């Protein structure tokens, strides 16, 4: 089985020392969310994830969900742990107290999202989509709909899904065929098929609330004619009690490479009754509330799985003996952690993971500001930053997750290729993260063709980084890194000007370089948060010298050993697309 101990100390370091967003600290309702409260929450979160949820990862992989006699059955142990999970209130952590939630900010719930991803992604997906549905209904549903459905979703007694994909369309949602016809009661009858529906059916909750994209009869073609509907598995009476089965049926569940403890369903809607959510033909806008937050959460999945892979590989490297290290003087076989190349692999993982956690925490402050600040202008600016970096968080973290799980397998050698150690499962489970919620290539295209063209938002991002550079200029120990990040920033601006669709670069050159640009920006953003982390480490050094020595060494490693990767992406991109487009694929 894999090794995992929740990195509570590192999370608390971020909460106590990197929670320096001025606008975040102006949010009145979060001023009582102090370190003592957060530490208690994280300690309890660590216990349930390490003790109860982590063992389910292997169970779910070896005993996948099954579909029999019209029922999707979850793996052994899932029901009992899920019951404990909702009894302890974990589904309600970030939800509005008005509907039974605890009202914790993203700066806290993001840590919990990471822990869940580290322990068992399959188990996490049941509640993750529920919170996504909650957010969509909260922002776009009527008061009647919210009062009827949200309390049970927040409690965890009902779960949720998002139903977008159909056999003929994934990314291109304009090709959706599912129909919605209004009846005499003002409800809609939904008919069509949806595929790849995560947690689309299961036996953990009393009801499942599907958010379904469909077309009304006279809807315009393309994405302009898509509406959003809430379709429960079981009809809900006016008094809130669960009634008869609605016209939603499971056709099959997928046999998958990973996340086998989570059912990925084909669902058939046959005159299923539903409510329209938001305005007609504006369903995609409403669904993006769910999708955009979900894309950030998928990035956190990549981070969480990376942490478990790193910890498992580190533990193995302290037990496995093989060969003799370069400084061996006694002639005995050494633990592999003494070998420089193994240490290189571990430091690659560690520096990227800790940088990602810092960036996710910085981003969570921006999300909280975008949702809760009293100033509309401040909210707008924060929303712009969130929109700009969402594809980076989603794609960069999950691509790095593939690199890190791959390196972890390599550290195990032949044992990593077998199922006995559990390390190969992390690779398989993570493989979906660069694919779902919009493939990483689509995210890169979105970043370049839609996001960086918002000039003010990009300037706001650079302004945030320049503020940090100014603060760091007071510490001479950071002078070398300041030179590095200033050069990095100049190259980023140069790269952005070259790839910006508003400029003169040919479109094929831009399209062929979107992935390179996203990775460049990802490495740059990690350098920004590592700079902030190093500044805080020096400022608080005397409080915990061992912890901060490790932070400083890891940050130095990132600047010296990881940042040079970014230049290769720039040089590859600006060559253009000639040889790409001239290729003959016979």
Confidence (pLDDT) at 542: 96
Residue 97 lies in a domain: no
Confidence (pLDDT) at 315: 97
Q: Is 437 a residue of the active site?
A: yes
- pTM of the prediction? 0.96
Confidence (pLDDT) at 284: 86
- pLDDT class of 240 with cuts at 50, 70, 90: confident
**Helix (H), strand (E), coil (C) string for 211-280:** EEEEECCCCCCHHHHEEEEEEECEEECCCCCEEEECCEEEEEECCCCCCCCCCEEEEEEEEEEEEEECCC
Confidence (pLDDT) at 180: 97
Instruction: Label residue 257 exposed, middle or buried (CB < 10 Å: 0-12, 13-18, 19+).
Output: exposed
pLDDT higher than threshold 80 for residue 327: no
Residue 534 lies in a domain: yes
Residue 143 lies in a domain: no
Residue 199 lies in a domain: no
Residue 250 lies in a domain: no
pLDDT digit string, tens, across residues 542-560? 999 999 999 999 999 999 9
- pLDDT class of 347 with cuts at 50, 70, 90: very high
Confidence (pLDDT) at 70: 87
**What's the DSSP call for residue 415?**
G
- pLDDT class of 292 with cuts at 50, 70, 90: confident
Residue 498 lies in a domain: yes
pLDDT digit string, tens, across residues 79-107? 999 999 999 999 999 999 999 999 999 99
pLDDT higher than threshold 80 for residue 290: no
- Residue whose token pair is 């633990």: 335
Residue 368 lies in a domain: no
129 to 147, 262, 263, 291: CA distances (angstroms): 19, 12, 12, 10
pLDDT higher than threshold 80 for residue 23: yes
Tally of domains within the chain: 1
Residue 282 lies in a domain: no
Cα-Cα end-to-end distance for the chain: 46
Confidence (pLDDT) at 139: 92
Which among 166, 307, 437, 468 is annotated as catalytic? 437
- pLDDT class of 331 with cuts at 50, 70, 90: confident
Contact 112, 237 (CB under 8 A): no
Residues in the chain: 586
Find the helix or strand (DSSP H, E) in which 193 lies. Answer: strand 188-198
Listed residue (211, 190, 90, 200) closest to 145, CA to CA: 211
Contact 182, 188 (CB under 8 A): yes
Confidence (pLDDT) at 571: 97
pLDDT higher than threshold 80 for residue 259: yes
Question: Domain of 561?
Answer: 446-580
């Amino acid at each position: 089985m894999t090794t995992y101990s929740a990195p509570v100390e590192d999370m608390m370091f971020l909460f106590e020392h990197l929670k320096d967003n001025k606008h975040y600290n102006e949010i009145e309702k979060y001023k009582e969310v102090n370190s003592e409260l957060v530490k208690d929450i994280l300690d309890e979160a660590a216990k349930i994830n390490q003790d109860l949820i982590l063992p389910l990862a292997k169970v779910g992989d070896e005993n996948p969900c099954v579909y029999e006699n019209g029922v999707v059955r979850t793996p052994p142990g899932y029901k009992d742990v899920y019951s404990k999970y909702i009894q302890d209130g974990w589904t309600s952590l970030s939800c509005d107290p008005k509907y039974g939630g605890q009202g914790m900010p993203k700066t806290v719930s993001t840590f919990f999202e990471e822990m869940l991803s580290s322990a068992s992604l399959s188990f996490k997906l049941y509640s993750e989509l529920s919170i996504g549905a909650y957010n969509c209904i909260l922002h776009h549903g009527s008061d009647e709909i919210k009062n009827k459905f949200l309390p049970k979703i927040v409690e965890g007694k009902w779960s949720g899904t998002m139903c977008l994909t159909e056999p003929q369309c994934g990314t291109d949602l304009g090709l959706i065929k599912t129909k919605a016809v209004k009846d005499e009661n003002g409800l809609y009858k939904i008919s069509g098929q949806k595929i790849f529906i995560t947690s689309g059916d299961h036996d953990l909750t009393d009801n499942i609330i599907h958010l379904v994209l469909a077309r009304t009869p006279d809807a315009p073609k393309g994405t302009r004619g898509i509406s959003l509907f809430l379709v429960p598995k079981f009809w809900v009476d006016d008094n809130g009690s669960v009634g008869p089965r609605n016209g939603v049926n499971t056709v099959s569940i997928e046999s998958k490479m990973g996340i086998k403890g989570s059912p990925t369903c084909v669902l058939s809607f046959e005159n299923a009754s539903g409510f329209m959510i938001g305005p007609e033909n504006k369903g995609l806008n409403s669904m993006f509330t769910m999708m955009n937050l979900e894309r950030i959460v998928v990035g956190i999945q990549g981070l969480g799985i990376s942490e478990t892979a790193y910890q498992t590989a580190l533990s193995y490297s302290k037990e496995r003996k093989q060969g003799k290290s370069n400084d061996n003087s006694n002639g005995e076989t050494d633990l592999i952690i003494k070998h420089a190349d193994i240490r290189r692999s571990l430091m690659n993982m560690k520096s990227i993971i800790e940088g990602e956690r810092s960036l996710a925490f910085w981003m969570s402050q921006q999300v909280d500001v975008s949702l809760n600040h009293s100033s509309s202008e401040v909210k707008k600016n924060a929303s712009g930053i969130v929109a700009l970096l969402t594809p980076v968080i989603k794609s960069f973290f999950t691509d790095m997750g593939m690199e890190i799980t791959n390196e972890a397998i390599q550290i195990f050698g032949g044992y990593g290729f077998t199922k006995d150690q559990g390390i190969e499962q992390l690779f398989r489970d993570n493989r979906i993260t660069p694919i779902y919620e919009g493939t990483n290539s689509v995210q890169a295209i979105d970043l370049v063709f839609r996001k960086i063209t918002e000039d003010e938002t990009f300037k706001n991002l650079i302004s945030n980084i320049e503020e940090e550079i100014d603060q760091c200029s007071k510490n001479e120990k950071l002078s070398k890194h300041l030179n590095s990040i200033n050069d990095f920033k100049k190259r980023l601006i140069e790269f952005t000007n070259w790839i910006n669709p508003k400029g003169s670069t040919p479109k094929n050159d831009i399209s062929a370089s979107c992935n390179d640009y996203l990775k460049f920006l990802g490495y740059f953003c990690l350098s920004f948060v590592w700079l902030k982390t190093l500044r805080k480490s020096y400022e608080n050094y005397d409080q915990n010298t061992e912890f901060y020595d490790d932070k400083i060494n890891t940050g130095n490693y990132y600047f010296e050993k990881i940042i040079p990767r970014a230049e290769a992406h720039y040089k590859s991109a600006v060559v253009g697309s000639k040889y790409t487009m001239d290729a003959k694929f016979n």
